[in-house]
């Protein structure tokens, strides 16, 4: 079978990092090709190069045998027949389904949009895919799954030859996943090639024909899905039997700091948030509990509930064995001794235009006042200096905007903000995202020190190695449930990976 898409020796470097080194990918017509790898393996970079969002440093991409120009524009690639559906949809919520499908390419007559043709064409594409979606409906009224279908229908308007799907089922309900799989098979039957990125290995077995595995930016393996069990795939993805540098705890954890039982929660809007089902969990003082799970498994929502950022009525909370109300606001949670370092540093953490000092001291100003009401410059400067030293924050002056710092230093400033509140329970959501490797190790050390000082620490991370390196215990989330708990000192990467992806140990 001749290849529909053939990418050869794709190489891409970013400052300081080689993201891809000589990667090959071959997809035939009518083939569903799984692209597998851990976080950071290079999948996203490869997708961006194929979709034209980024240019490769070296390598060649051929579509039906003709080389694609090195120029990189997503529009040109779409017109050539390569359409990408990203995790974050590119739909305009206020506009109709049909308008979204044809945006920028609306059929016109005498310079006016030809509405009847627009809706007619959209309707015929939707019904050809067997979808019951009204083309006049506003996109915001659709469920996440339906929005995904609209993205696919939009791809069809380009007469796509190759559709790239980046974790298409991450946020879908079980029934929506069935519909998606039906449509993927339908597309396959029409001879369209599909690159399917997922972490859910049971989907790979059910849906995909062939697979390619990337690891650390390198091509590792290609093969027929039929010949490989999910366990084989996990081994290929993880690959190494490296002894992890594990931080050991220096003392035995003491009493229970936080216990929750029966937390169930439904997101208010039809966003990508997962719903949570009956979660029970305990953390002890001095312990680091890692939370593993795929995107959309519900870890972040769970953390936000504990912190009062989302309201949840179903569930019971004990803090140091006292039964307390679930916090109804972050202010209440902080008062109870729970603090959260949010997942999106820039969006939810930083005041980018304000100084490092203002960012660090904001919730602690009460402790830094003079004559009751007035913030003392001197005490504030001392405060910042103390944390600058103990956390090793590199900065010229604490009066420069926090936006001027590197990611690692920004994160340390926010960590200082959390630590200054003297929490009993500290929840860290992706504490090292966007932090370079050197600073990562420092942040890990700080987390360990914090736990050793008697704080109960909960760490959420998408990087398994990180969780294995620092956690005393790891809780695994899957589809809104806490499905397993493993010992952080003995757990292995394939074991946890398999729990995340399939729900059982490999």
Partner 1 sequence: MEASATRMLQRYGTGWVLLLLAIVFTSQNSRFLSWRNLGYILTDVSICGIVAVGMTFVIISAGVDLAVGSVLGFAAMGAAWLIELSGLHLHPAWLFGLCTAAGLGAAAGFIHGKVTTALQVPPFITTLGGLSAWRGATLLINHGGPIHDFDAGYRWWGNGSVLGIPVPVLIFVIVASVGWVVQRYTRYGRHIYAVGGNVEAARLSGLNVKGLTSSVYVIVGTLAGLAGFLLSARLGSAEATAGTGYELRVIASVVIGGASLSGGTGGVGGTVMGALLIGVLSNGLVMMGVNSYYQEIVIGAIIVLAVALDSFAKRRA
Tokens encoding 211: 């697979």
Residue 383 as a binder of partner 1 (CB under 8 A): the answer is no
| Closest separation in Å from C-beta 362 to partner 1 | 5
Which among 153, 460, 154, 121 has a CA at the least distance from the CA of 289? 460
Question: Which C-beta is closer to partner 1: that of 142 or that of 402?
Answer: 402
Residue 324 as a binder of partner 1 (CB under 8 A): the answer is no
| Closest separation in Å from C-beta 353 to partner 1 | 6
Residue 374 as a binder of partner 1 (CB under 8 A): the answer is yes
Residue 350 as a binder of partner 1 (CB under 8 A): the answer is yes
Maximum distance among all Cα pairs of the chain, rounded to whole angstroms? 81
369, containing H or E segment: strand 369-370
Q: Which of 340, 356, 460, 500 binds partner 1 (CB under 8 A)?
A: 340
Tokens encoding 450: 């914090």
Total interface residues for partner 1 by CB under 8 A: 33
| Closest separation in Å from C-beta 372 to partner 1 | 10
Residue 307 as a binder of partner 1 (CB under 8 A): the answer is yes
Q: Which of 95, 138, 144, 352 binds partner 1 (CB under 8 A)?
A: 352
Dihedral of the alpha carbons of 479, 483, 488, 489, in degrees to the nearest 10: -140
Residue 365 as a binder of partner 1 (CB under 8 A): the answer is yes
Which among 337, 346, 363, 353 has a CA at the least distance from the CA of 430? 346
Residue 382 as a binder of partner 1 (CB under 8 A): the answer is no
Torsion region of 150: left, alpha or beta (phi above 0 gives left; psi -120 to 50 gives alpha): alpha
Question: Which C-beta is closer to partner 1: that of 92 or that of 331?
Answer: 331
Question: Which C-beta is closer to partner 1: that of 75 or that of 399?
Answer: 399
- Whole-number Å distance between alpha carbons of 337 and 348: 20
Residue 311 as a binder of partner 1 (CB under 8 A): the answer is no
- Whole-number Å distance between alpha carbons of 63 and 74: 15
Q: Which of 260, 334, 393, 443 binds partner 1 (CB under 8 A)?
A: 334
Tokens encoding 301: 């929502």
**Positions in 407-446 near partner 1 (CB under 8 A):** 417
Tokens encoding 389: 């030293």
| Closest separation in Å from C-beta 316 to partner 1 | 23
Q: Looking at 14-22, 195-203, 241-249, 364-372, which segment touches partner 1 (CB under 8 A)?
A: 364-372
- Whole-number Å distance between alpha carbons of 134 and 138: 9
- Whole-number Å distance between alpha carbons of 336 and 40: 37
CA distances from residue 215 to 274, 467, 496 in whole angstroms, order as listed: 28, 18, 17
Q: Go through 20-45 and write b for each residue having 16 or more CB atoms within 10 A of its CB, e for each that does not.
A: bbebebbbbbbbbbbbbbbbbbbbbb
What percentage of the chain's residues is helix, strand, coil (to nearest 5)? 35, 25, 40
- Whole-number Å distance between alpha carbons of 317 and 114: 58
Tokens encoding 490: 């003995």
Pairing of strands 314-319, 322-324: antiparallel
| Closest separation in Å from C-beta 329 to partner 1 | 8
Question: Which C-beta is closer to partner 1: that of 234 or that of 338?
Answer: 338
Q: Which of 342, 408, 423, 488 binds partner 1 (CB under 8 A)?
A: 342
Concatenated DSSP letters for 151-165?
HHHHHHHTT-SEEEE
Residue 381 as a binder of partner 1 (CB under 8 A): the answer is no
| Closest separation in Å from C-beta 345 to partner 1 | 10
Q: Which of 248, 268, 323, 347 binds partner 1 (CB under 8 A)?
A: 347
Q: Which of 309, 324, 381, 465 binds partner 1 (CB under 8 A)?
A: 309
| Closest separation in Å from C-beta 458 to partner 1 | 16
| Closest separation in Å from C-beta 347 to partner 1 | 7
Q: Looking at 29-37, 250-258, 267-275, 396-404, which segment touches partner 1 (CB under 8 A)?
A: 396-404
* Residues found near partner 1 in the complex (CB under 8 A): 307, 309, 329-331, 333-335, 340, 342, 347-354, 358, 362-363, 365-366, 369, 373-375, 396, 399-401, 404, 417
């Amino acid at each position: 079978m001749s290849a529909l898409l053939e990418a050869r020796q794709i190489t891409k470097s970013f400052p300081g990092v080689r993201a891809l080194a000589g990667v090959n990918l071959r997809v035939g017509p009518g083939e569903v090709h799984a692209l597998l790898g851990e976080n950071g393996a290079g999948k996203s970079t490869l997708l961006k190069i194929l979709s034209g969002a980024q240019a490769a440093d070296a390598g060649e991409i051929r579509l039906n045998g003709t080389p694609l120009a090195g120029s990189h524009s997503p529009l040109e690639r779409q017109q050539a027949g390569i359409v990408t559906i990203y995790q974050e949809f590119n739909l305009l919520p206020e506009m109709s389904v049909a308008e979204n499908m044809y945006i920028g390419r609306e059929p016109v007559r005498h310079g006016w949009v030809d509405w009847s043709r627009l809706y007619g064409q959209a309707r015929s594409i939707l019904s050809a895919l067997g979808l019951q979606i009204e083309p006049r409906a506003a996109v915001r009224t659709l469920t996440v799954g339906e929005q995904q279908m609209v993205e696919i229908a939009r791809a069809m308007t380009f007469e796509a030859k190759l559709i790239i799907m980046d974790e298409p089922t991450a946020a879908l309900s079980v029934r929506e996943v069935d519909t998606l799989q039906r449509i993927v098979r339908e597309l396959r039957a029409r001879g369209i090639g599909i690159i399917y990125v997922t972490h859910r290995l049971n989907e790979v077995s059910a849906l995909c024909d062939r697979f390619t595995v990337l690891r650390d930016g390198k091509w590792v393996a290609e093969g027929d899905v039929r010949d490989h069990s999910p366990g084989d795939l996990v081994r290929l993805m993880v690959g190494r039997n490296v002894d992890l540098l594990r931080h050991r705890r220096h003392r035995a954890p003491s009493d229970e700091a936080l216990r929750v039982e029966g937390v169930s929660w439904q997101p208010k809007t039809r966003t990508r948030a997962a719903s949570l089902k009956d979660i029970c969990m305990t953390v002890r003082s001095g312990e680091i509990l890692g939370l593993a799970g795929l995107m959309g498994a519900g870890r972040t929502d769970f953390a936000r509930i504990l912190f009062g950022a989302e309201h949840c009525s179903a569930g019971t909370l004990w803090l140091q064995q006292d039964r307390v109300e679930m916090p109804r606001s972050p202010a209440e949670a902080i008062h109870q001794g729970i603090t959260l370092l949010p997942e999106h540093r820039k969006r939810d953490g930083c005041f980018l235009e304000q100084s490092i000092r203002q960012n660090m001291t904001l919730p602690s100003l009460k402790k830094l006042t003079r004559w009751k009401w007035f913030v003392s410059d001197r005490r504030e400067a001392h405060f910042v200096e103390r944390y600058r030293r103990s956390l090793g924050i590199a900065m010229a002056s604490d009066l420069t905007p926090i936006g001027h710092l590197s990611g690692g230093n920004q994160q340390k400033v926010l960590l200082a903000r959390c630590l200054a509140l003297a929490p009993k329970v500290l929840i860290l959501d992706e504490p090292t995202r966007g932090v370079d490797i050197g600073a990562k190790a420092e942040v890990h050390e700080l987390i360990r020190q914090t736990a050793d000082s008697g704080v109960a620490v909960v760490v959420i991370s998408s990087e398994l190695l990180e969780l294995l390196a620092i956690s005393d215990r790891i809780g695994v989330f899957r589809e809104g449930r806490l499905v397993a708990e493993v010992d952080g000192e003995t757990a292995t990467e394939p074991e946890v990976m398999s729990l995340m992806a399939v729900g059982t140990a490999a």
